Chain A
Amino acid sequence: MAFNNLDTLYRQVIMDHYKNPRNKGALDEGSLTINMNNPTCGDRIQLTLKVEDGNVSDAKFDGEGCSISMSSASMMTQAIKGKSLEEAIKLSSIFSDMMLGKEYDEDIDLGDIEALQGVAKFPARIKCATLAWKAMEKGIREDEQ
């Protein structure tokens, strides 16, 4: 594999989210807080969500990790803001299919998230990309209970 193949992994939009993360920080106390880490590499994320009337009205993340995990967290918070809980979960399942290299509903506009498609070709890095999404799913499922 030559270096330019790495560009499928590290696309410009990914590096932009890594260097200028959106929604970085934490929401007020009382928001839904989810901590998750990847024990094999030490990446960790804290996600805070505000859920109002069945919608994610706000989302922020904080944490430490590689370019893939942090850019994915940034994109995820951007994507779910304003979405219903159901839509957020659906997005997460589309993302999971994308990481597994499965076909997914291409009618849905994924925006920046599409840039992460290349991660599927790097099996060792899929867990980095899915960390924030797993945290989001966990939070929403706990909220539903």
Chain B
Amino acid sequence: MNVQDIREMFPILNQEVNGSPLVYLDSAATSQKPYQVIEVLDKYYREYNSNVHRGVHTLGTRATDGYEGAREKVRRFINAKSTEQVIFTRGTTTAINTVAHGYARPNLKEGDEIVISHMEHHSNIIPWQQAAKHTGATLKYLPLQEDGTISMEDARKTITANTKIVSIMQVSNVLGVVNPIKELAQLAHENGAIMVVDGAQSAPHMKIDVQDLDCDFFAFSGHKMCGPTGIGVLYGKKALLENMEPIEFGGEMIDFVDLYDSTWKELPWKFESGTPIIAGAIGLGAAIDFLEEIGLDNILAHEHKLAAYAFEKMSALDGMTIYGPKDPMKRTGLVTFNIDDVHPHDVATVLDAEGIAVRAGHHCAQVLMKWLKASSTARASFYLYNTEEDIDKLVEGLIKTKEYFSDGF
């Protein structure tokens, strides 16, 4: 994997921001897009924009082939058994909400439990809070170890015969840890619960095999894996999806419509009401092609190398707190940190003046922030186009930030 060649494929990286070459370290928020993806979006709108699954004209057929072809690419990407199990959504949030509405609300009752963890993103907390309120079920939190990891011993204590749903992120957007999804799914099943996986931060960085994980639902977003915004995926086991009612009704998802009742299309279309994000799905398909050409294993290895390098360089600075496990192999490519006596917002502003983009704030993880006892943190996240030189610039920027806030005032 030649990172310089990869960088050439991302036009956005070739620019100056505030007078310095852009150093983009915010891919965990959204990744940049390669030509390959940008060009298929352009081509779709220039050459065959048309609605899908209706009409008999040629453009309509091309659009449908492109849209359904993307579904097959997703199926292969996550190793689902069939394309019936691949539902296009607006993103991870919509996918998790579909499960919370379509599965949790009709199936849960008082006394049942939903288990999530302290590290979850708001999109994997609030849908369950709402489902618990509606059904009378109890929401329980898996505790975290001191380094932010989940232990199976704790999981065995928290997940009980009353647990009906376990919903955990595969990779944390703040701590970078990779959670033991396969083991958790097995434990959930032993207790008669289903396993839901928030894959927003894992699908861009590692090979996903939903059959091997044996999860019941898996949700992820296109825009964090070189694809467009507005497109995501919900994978589900067929029997579960078949028994779920759609949560949105209207065009596209119906079979026959009568005056007072209607029937739904088969899977996966019964969950895709309205004109879908056609270009977005085709763009996601192109992003998958791109990532597979480079190889997910190569991408993960590159990120491990960058995380180890960043961890080493950043830990060497005085007054630096780094969150999450110390072992770089236990994390994907991101480092969340704070500098003593400098607020992360100020850190991000000073870095931005040097063309370095990092995230500052609570990262949509206020529950985790409470656990970390931090009101907010700064985060540098890496992807296949980042280099050790990017990290050197970050470290230089951090040194300047410290100097700027300690001297001269």
Contact = CB atoms under 8 A, between A and B. Distances in A.
A9 interface: yes
Interface stretch (B177-185, B215-223, B306-314, B359-367): B359-367
A122 interface: yes
A124 B409 contact: no
A64 B376 CA distance: 10
A67 interface: yes
Contacts of B208: none
A12 B404 CA distance: 11
Interface residues of A, number: 25
Given A3-B353, A41-B360, A15 B409 contact: yes
Nearest to B341: A19
A125 B344 CA distance: 12
A82 interface: no
Main secondary structure of the interface of B (DSSP, over half): mixed
A106 to B, nearest CB: 27
Given A6-B353, A42-B366, A1 B345 contact: no
A67 B409 CA distance: 12
B349 interface: yes
Contact of A12 (B344, B345, B353, B409): B409
A5 B375 contact: no
B62 interface: no
A42 B375 contact: yes
A15 B405 CA distance: 8
Contact of A122 (B19, B349, B405): B349
B409 A16 contact: yes
Nearest to B347: A66
Interface in B247-300: none
A124 B409 CA distance: 23
B400 A67 contact: no
Interface string A61-78: 000111110000000000
A81 interface: no
Contact of B404 (A2, A10, A40): A10
Contacts of B375: 42-44, 64-65
Contacts of B349: 6, 9, 122, 124-125
Contacts of A65: 343, 345, 375
A38 B344 CA distance: 14
Contacts of A98: none
Interface in A1-54: 1-3, 5-6, 9-10, 12, 15-16, 19, 40-44
B329 interface: no
Contacts of B344: 66
A64 B370 CA distance: 14
A122 B348 CA distance: 12
A41 B343 CA distance: 11
A10 B343 CA distance: 13
A19 B409 contact: yes
Contact of A5 (B353, B366, B405, B408): B353
B353 A40 contact: no
Given A41-B362, A41-B376, A3 B345 contact: no
Nearest to B354: A3
Contact of B345 (A2, A5, A16, A41): A41
A73 B383 CA distance: 38
A15 B341 CA distance: 12
B346 A2 contact: no
Contacts of A68: 345-346
B369 interface: yes
B162 interface: no
A46 B353 CA distance: 31
B369 A42 contact: yes
A82 to B, nearest CB: 28
Nearest to B343: A66
B22 interface: no
Interface in A55-96: 64-68
A1 B22 CA distance: 12
B404 to A, nearest CB: 7
B20 to A, nearest CB: 8
A128 interface: yes
B409 A3 contact: no
A122 B376 CA distance: 20
A44 B362 CA distance: 12
Contact of A42 (B18, B376, B405): B376
Contact of A66 (B346, B354, B409): B346
Given A3-B400, A6-B350, A42 B19 contact: no
Interface of B: 18-19, 343-346, 349-350, 353-354, 360-362, 366, 369, 375-376, 400, 404-405, 408-409
Interface of A: 1-3, 5-6, 9-10, 12, 15-16, 19, 40-44, 64-68, 122, 124-125, 128
